[in-house]
């Protein structure tokens, strides 16, 4: 009765293994799985909307080398996971030819949202597995806890409305023309914008990501 009153979320946190090597190995596998499915979601959404650019350039593949960015996909989220910080990251952007897409900016918004939405669905699946099979094995609990946390982290970070993150695709579809022009200019700097955001803006975005992470985690785990 005492454990139930404290909530599943608190119990799960206590059951996690505390071996950084094991956490790092598990996190790396989860990151690779999550980012591959994230990018495939972008590519298949674009294909369904008439753009086969991702397929033509070999991005509709389960080969992680086609999607992984050494820093944003592996090193950054891995270090965050091991250090117990909110996990976030990104992959190599999927090539999209906007002029091929149905519905122009709105088609681009659908393609952009498909990636982080997939991570949210994966986190929800992980939550359902934990709730339905509440086992006591620390490795099992750690795997699914980090599976949920990492996918939530990818979801939250990628929906930030800052080019070239996926959230900017959604904002772009509804933004006034002057803001679209500004976002187009910012888009040209791509990864440099993200690096500045991560390195210089970490103290600002980390509390936001952490708060959203925790809120979604509690909703998923009940």
The residues annotated as belonging to the active site are: 39
CA distance 37 to 155: 12
Residue with tokens 């753009």: 51
Q: Alpha-carbon distance 166 to 93, whole Å? A: 9
Task: With beta carbons less than 8 A apart as the criterion, state whether 109 and 169 touch.
Answer: yes
Within 10 Å of residue 24's Cβ, how many Cβ atoms? Answer: 14
Spatial CB neighbours of 68, under 8 Å, sequence gap ≥ 6 = 32, 35, 74, 91, 92
Pick from 151, 154, 127: nearest CA to 141:
127
Helix (H, G, I), strand (E, B) or coil at 162: coil
Residue found under tokens 């709730």: 131
Helices 20-48 and 104-132 cross at an angle (nearest 10°) of 140
Closest CA to 137 of 56, 1, 16: 16
């Amino acid at each position: 009765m005492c454990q139930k009153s404290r909530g599943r979320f608190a119990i799960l946190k206590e059951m996690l293994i505390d071996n950084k090597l094991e956490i790092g190995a598990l996190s790396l596998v989860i990151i690779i799985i999550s980012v591959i499915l994230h990018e495939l979601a972008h590519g298949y959404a674009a294909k369904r909307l008439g753009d086969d650019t991702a397929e033509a350039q070999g991005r509709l593949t389960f080969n992680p080398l086609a999607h992984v960015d050494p820093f944003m996909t592996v090193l950054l989220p891995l270090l965050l996971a091991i250090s117990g910080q909110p996990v976030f990251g990104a992959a190599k952007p999927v090539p999209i030819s906007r002029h091929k897409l149905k519905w122009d900016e709105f088609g681009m918004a659908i393609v952009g949202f498909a990636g982080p939405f997939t991570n949210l669905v994966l986190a929800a699946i992980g939550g359902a597995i934990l709730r339905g099979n509440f086992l006591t094995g620390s490795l099992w609990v750690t795997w699914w806890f980090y599976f949920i946390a990492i996918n939530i982290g990818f979801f939250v970070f990628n929906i930030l409305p800052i080019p070239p993150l996926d959230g900017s695709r959604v904002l772009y579809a509804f933004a006034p023309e002057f803001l679209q022009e500004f976002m187009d200019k910012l888009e040209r700097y791509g990864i440099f914008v993200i690096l500045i955001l991560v390195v210089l803006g970490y103290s600002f975005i980390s509390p936001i990501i952490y708060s959203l992470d925790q809120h979604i985690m509690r909703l998923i785990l009940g």
